[in-house]
Amino acid sequence: MIEVKTPDELQAMRAAGLVVARTLAAVRAAAKPGVSTAELDELAEQTIRDAGAVPSFKGYHGFPASICASVNEQIVHGIPAKTQMLADGDIISVDCGAILDGWHGDSAVTLAIGKVSDADLALSAATEAAMWAGIEAVTAGGRLTDISYAV
């Protein structure tokens, strides 16, 4: 059963989402060649905590970090590391979650680091377009296959 949220609950959800949005903006600004994924994680955790929130991922089933950071072909939900330095041409997926007043915000971004190949940029653009097509296909009473078809 789907519970319809009250206006106050929606506002609380939005506030948690805004913490995540601000955190991902800070990570985006810091993600440059020579920066480690651990440094991005430290920045994310500090940004989340400064907002009065708690990182959702840290400690969840033993996960050791505040963000998931997956570089290039690394599988999703990568663990940030001091030894994993971003390099020119990398593509990194950063997933972030925060809990604020009991409400979770969660989002991910894909970032191009420095000069990325045209092929990688085209693939990234195509996957983003597919995501937006799927989102546009979501309707009340719609079917999952409607979304799959749009993607």
Question: Are 88 and 35 contacting, i.e. CB atoms less than 8 angstroms apart?
Answer: no
Domain boundaries of the chain, sorted by first residue: 7-114, 117-150
The whole-number pLDDT of residue 2 equals 81
- The tokens for 64 are 């050791």
DSSP character for 33?
A: T
pTM of model > 0.75: yes
Residue 16's SS3 state is helix
Question: What are residue 95's phi and psi, to 5 degrees?
Answer: -110, 135
Q: Which CATH class is domain 7-114?
A: alpha beta
For 5-61, write each residue's pLDDT tens digit.
999 999 999 999 999 999 999 999 999 999 999 999 999 999 999 999 999 999 999
